[in-house]
A and B are shown apart, each in its own frame.
Chain A
Amino acid sequence: MNNHYECIEASINGKLGLINLNRPKVLNAINRQMVSDILSVMEDFEENDQVRVIVLSGNGRAFAAGADINEMAADNAIDFELRNQFKDWDRLARIKKPIIGAVQGFALGGGFELALCCDLLLAADDAEFGFPEVNLGVMPGAGGTQRLTKLVGKTIAMEWLFVGKRISAREALQFGIINRIVAKEILMEETLKLAGEVANQAPLSIRLIKESVLKAVDVSLDEGMQFERKNFYLLFSTEDQKEGMRAFQEKRKANFKGK
């Protein structure tokens, strides 16, 4: 694994792959390099058997306060099309290992979109989410209108996107955008605890649960049920299923191997 990245810090700690957005002077404004760095590390983590859970966080006061406006102000439509501006974001959505995000301060615009790519989100009580793109005469382009709507429904999403509303941690919790609010001082500690808990589960269960839940967001119930069933069957060909059920019968803790 390459350990030096321009816009992020990456490391492995036990079963956790850690990614820290690292442009604190600009509140971790997301530029193309940063997305490419994140993707490159995530794909390394994806292939690394040691890593069971990926943790995404931001250095400094904010998670990420938006996209780097300077980088795109002069772009035109064809630049985006030829560059395939959001191709890395599509690959990010296909990462199969669980991603847990820790948000403090702002998660705005592209920062909110990045947070919405996480499977679980913890937020400090000072966290603020929002899509302010409308104030710049544009709109979210990396999944904001789609993922937010799937989460909170059309009515709320439409209003928030129309007026560029700032969403407090409490509202985010109320609308199911985040899993929990914790004191800012212990945000990382609590995030790592939760990540550790997930990392100790049977990895193939976690992998297929993630796949099935994400499927539920996209397909009809019937199709989702069929998909879930196949994944359920599939787990019965793993060693961890044998170990898990045997440990249950023997009243001991299971020792999962990810096989």
Chain B
Amino acid sequence: MFETVKYEVNNQVAWITLNRPEKLNAFTEQLNKDLERAVKQANRNSAVRCLVITGEGRAFCSGEDLAGVKEDMDHGEVLRRRYNPMVMELHKCDKPIVAAVNGVAAGAGMSLALACDFRLLSEKASFIEAFIHVGLVPDAGNLYYLPKLIGHAKALELAVLGEKISAQMAADLGLATKVIPLDRWEIEVTAFAEKLAAMPTTAIGLIKKNLKASWDHSLEEGLEKDAQAQRVAGMTSDHREGVQAFLEKRNPVFAGK
């Protein structure tokens, strides 16, 4: 279906695996487009209630494939044409997106992980703001998301110093939902994704939307957004099921509607 991405849906989870292991899943134009289309497809498919993005082999994603970088290249246009639409597709997705960071996430690979909603880190995983080492600036949403996740001061340190961040350091900074031991990796990632997929999907989408909106809205606008979101969530069958299950003292079964 895609040249550089494996895509499969299992138990309502869309598994999107970057599949250029010999190049540590470095981004090419094809990979940017494949990932963008895969996310769009998963978001449109009503049978999908959670997305997992991970890397084949030992890396998550090593960022832009430097083999393709030419001297006369217009870096701004590369971002506008390839990366920005991909990041916007992730941003527009209503469903929860888990970055299962199985290994190194460098440069734009780190940006990709930051644009997801959850970051599960393998104990071998690491982040690195590699841009500064080649005289460039973090891109693809990196400088947008990073300070919101860990604060301005730490974001600046990471971006300017460009030091390797181990999984444990990332967790201490607040960049990881969880660090998972190697022998538990697949089981725990699957369990986490399938748990999300069984939750009230509409409500999750509304939470994502309003949290993001909170970054540039006043309290007054935020309160109105709350009212609208609650009206929408209040009409879902998941809400009725949740209330019913509570009254009947049983576990709810959410259909994602």
Contacts and interface: CB of A to CB of B under 8 A. Distances in A.
Interface of A: 125, 182-183, 185-186, 189-190
A102 to B, nearest CB: 14
Contact of B235 (A125, A182, A185): A185
A186 B229 CA distance: 9
Given A183-B232, A186-B228, 12 more contacts: A125-B209, A182-B228, A183-B206, A183-B228, A183-B229, A183-B231, A185-B232, A185-B235, A186-B231, A186-B232, A189-B231, A190-B228
Contacts of B231: 183, 186, 189
Residue with the greatest number of chain A CB neighbours at <10 A, chosen from B206, B209, B231, B235: B231
Interface size range of chain B in the complex: under 10
Interface string B214-257: 00000000000000110110010000000000000000000000
14 contacts: A125-B209, A182-B228, A183-B206, A183-B228, A183-B229, A183-B231, A183-B232, A185-B232, A185-B235, A186-B228, A186-B231, A186-B232, A189-B231, A190-B228
Interface of B: 206, 209, 228-229, 231-232, 235
The dominant DSSP class at the A interface is helix
Q: Which 3 pairs between the two chains have the least Cβ-Cβ distance?
A: A185-B232, A183-B228, A183-B232
A165 to B, nearest CB: 14
A190 B231 CA distance: 11
A2 to B, nearest CB: 34
Contacts of B232: 183, 185-186
Contacts of A186: 228, 231-232
Nearest to A180: B224
Residue with the greatest number of chain A CB neighbours at <10 A, chosen from B209, B228, B232: B228
A125 B232 CA distance: 13
Contacts of A189: 231
B245 to A, nearest CB: 23
A89 B11 CA distance: 52
Nearest to B236: A185
Contacts of A183: 206, 228-229, 231-232
A189 B231 CA distance: 10
A182 B206 CA distance: 12
